[in-house]
């Protein structure tokens, strides 16, 4: 394990290594690009979804694997399995909607002798006893924590999509202030939660980058929606410290055939209408060109994660959509406690 004080030092030193930037016209290659990109400083694999058991009870779930580059520019002769080239963090959370309960857990590890990692050769991303094992585009998730046990099989119902324009999802002004961003927007789910059979749908995000936000930005609000009519929506609302709208907010609408349609900041309107503590947990969303006018509402108000690793606090939880389109999805809100820096 790495102590949390050492984590801060490592992340500071990692800025010395000349990592690649996320630039336009990236030559995507799949399935290779579903796995690790060690030449980029930051990477994550993000699973969120909504489940139901045989009794009709509803649940939300989150399982996230993070890789944070920790290499420095100074060559090392250290061949120990315990040397730190990358740090691996993971978050898992379960929302028991009908029981009004929210549980979460976290992991922080160096790779060590197989403790954590991401491997195209093994078709696997893992951290301790949490993992996703790929067979083709199907993905098997396992997370064993003190308060819950998750074992899910995910099968794509629609093809993956690449967000943004020209191969990058731009987040701020300047070359490299972007990510390479790929999603499976609709995954059919079956498996068990705490030994109870469950089924539902999930969304998977994979991003890799070296820099994203600039100093004027404090965080983001990210929405995923799986509508009952077979379409999907992803939006991210970048928040500026001065309170002004950020021009690099963007999104993607995915039609029934699975084709992505890029949305710029001028294409959609977001307005918070209710709060829990400092977090907007109800939003009005309008996309006039697509005749989308919906209300996004938290399935449970208290879905806040206060993590030890990196001392990050954020809200991430299951939501419902009503209005012109109905469905379920997830909402993530970062930077409300203190600005996010990537």
Residue 312 is predicted with a pLDDT of 81
Percent helix, strand, coil in the chain, to 5, is 5, 55, 35
Task: For residue 181, tell me if it sits in a domain.
Answer: yes
Residue 5 is predicted with a pLDDT of 43
Task: For residue 338, tell me if it sits in a domain.
Answer: no
Task: For residue 267, tell me if it sits in a domain.
Answer: yes
Alpha-carbon distance of 313 to 151, in angstroms, equals: 26
Q: Which three-class secondary structure state does DSSP give residue 229?
A: coil
Range of the domain at 199: 4-333
Task: For residue 339, tell me if it sits in a domain.
Answer: no
Task: For residue 11, tell me if it sits in a domain.
Answer: yes
Task: For residue 297, tell me if it sits in a domain.
Answer: yes
Mean pLDDT of residues grouped by 10 in the chain (342 residues)? 41 63 98 97 98 98 96 68 88 98 96 95 97 98 97 98 98 96 98 97 98 92 98 97 92 98 98 97 98 98 85 92 98 90 68
Q: Which of 296, 298, 316, 291 is nearest to 306 (CA)?
A: 316
Q: How many domains does the chain have?
A: 1
Residue 16 is predicted with a pLDDT of 53
Residue 8 is predicted with a pLDDT of 45
CATH number of the domain within which 149 lies? 2.40.370.10
Q: CB-based burial of residue 297 (10 Å sphere; 0-12 exposed, 13-18 middle, 19+ buried)?
A: middle
Q: What single string gives the DSSP state of each residue in 162-194?
A: E-SBTTBEE-SSSTBBEEEEEEEEEEEEEEEET
Task: For residue 341, tell me if it sits in a domain.
Answer: no
Residue 83 is predicted with a pLDDT of 81
Cα Rg for the chain, rounded, in angstroms? 19
Q: What single string gives the DSSP state of each residue in 63-91?
A: EEEEEEE---SS------TT--SEEEEEE
pTM: 0.93
């Amino acid at each position: 394990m790495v102590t949390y004080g050492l984590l801060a030092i490592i992340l500071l030193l990692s800025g010395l290594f000349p990592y690649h930037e996320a630039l336009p016209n990236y030559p995507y290659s799949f399935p290779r690009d579903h796995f690790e990109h060690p030449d980029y400083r930051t990477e994550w694999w993000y699973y969120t979804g909504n489940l139901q058991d045989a009794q009709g009870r509803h649940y939300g779930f989150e399982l996230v694997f993070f890789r944070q580059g920790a290499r420095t520019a100074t060559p090392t002769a250290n061949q120990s399995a315990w040397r730190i080239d990358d740090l691996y963090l993971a978050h898992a959370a379960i929302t028991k909607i009908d029981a009004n309960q929210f549980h979460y857990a976290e992991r922080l590890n160096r790779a060590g002798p197989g403790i954590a990692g991401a491997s195209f050769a093994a078709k696997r991303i893992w951290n301790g006893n949490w993992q996703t094992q790929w067979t083709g585009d199907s993905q098997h998730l396992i997370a064993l924590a003190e308060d819950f046990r998750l074992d899910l099989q995910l099968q794509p119902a629609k093809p993956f999509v690449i967000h943004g324009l020209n191969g990058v999802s731009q987040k701020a002004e300047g070359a490299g202030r972007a990510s390479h961003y790929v999603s499976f927007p609709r995954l059919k789910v079956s498996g068990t939660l705490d030994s109870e059979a469950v089924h539902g749908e999930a969304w998977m995000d994979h991003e890799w980058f070296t820099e994203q936000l600039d100093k004027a930005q404090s965080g983001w609000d990210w929405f995923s929606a799986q509508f009952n009519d077979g379409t999907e929506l992803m939006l991210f609302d970048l928040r500026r410290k001065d309170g002004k709208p950020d021009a690099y907010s963007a999104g993607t609408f995915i039609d029934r055939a699975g084709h992505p349609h890029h949305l710029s900041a001028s294409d959609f309107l977001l307005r918070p209408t209710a709060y829990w503590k400092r977090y907007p947990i109800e939003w009005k969303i309008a996309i006039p060109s697509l005749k989308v006018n919906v209300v996004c509402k938290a399935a449970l108000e208290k879905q806040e994660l206060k993590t030890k690793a990196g001392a990050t606090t954020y809200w991430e939880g299951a939501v419902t959509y009503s209005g012109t389109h109905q469905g379920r999805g997830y909402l993530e809100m970062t930077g409300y406690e203190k600005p996010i820096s990537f």
